A = this chain, B = another copy of it.
Amino acid sequence: MKSEAASTASAAEAASYSISELAREFDITTRTIRFYEDKGLISPARRGQTRVYSPEDRVRLKLILRGKRLGFSLDESREIIDMYDPAHGNVEQLHRLLQHIEQKRAQLQQQLRDIESLMGELDDAETRARASLAQAENK
């Protein structure tokens, strides 16, 4: 039997991760992970002094990093993560949440358009570059 995930030994003991394990997996530094905790984006458990990360913590980290790839600030990523929580109390807050979701959707749609046009331009640039290359070779 192959060794299991990271720290789980036998049955269903809910895997946990050390800070350096996560750092390695996502190619970031431990400093970065602690920084995110400082900013209130993750709240790992503690065994004594040492941080112990749950699978949920790991998912949060993933969401943060995905946000980064999309150019989101940590505050924006926090907002998005909060949309996931079942913690939205009253009706007014729910309405605000829905508005917020709509805004994010609009932003993502703009990004889609931006990517589409940029992709086209990259195609053009490649075509021109290949043309220049061809001309350079048989000159």
Contacts and interface: CB of A to CB of B under 8 A. Distances in A.
A112 B117 CA distance: 13
B83 A114 contact: no
Contacts of A137: 91
Chain A facing B: main interface SS: helix
A129 B101 contact: yes
B71 A117 contact: no
A91 B136 contact: yes
A28 interface: no
A126 interface: yes
Contacts of A112: 112, 115
B71 A114 contact: no
Interface stretch (A3-11, A18-26, A37-45, A102-110): A102-110
Interface size class, chain A: 35 or more
16 contacts: A66-B117, A69-B111, A70-B71, A70-B111, A88-B132, A94-B129, A94-B132, A98-B130, A101-B122, A101-B125, A101-B129, A104-B122, A105-B119, A108-B122, A111-B115, A115-B115
Interface of A: 66, 68-72, 80, 83-84, 86, 88, 90-91, 94-95, 97-98, 101, 104-105, 108, 110-112, 114-115, 117-119, 121-122, 125-126, 128-130, 132-133, 136-137
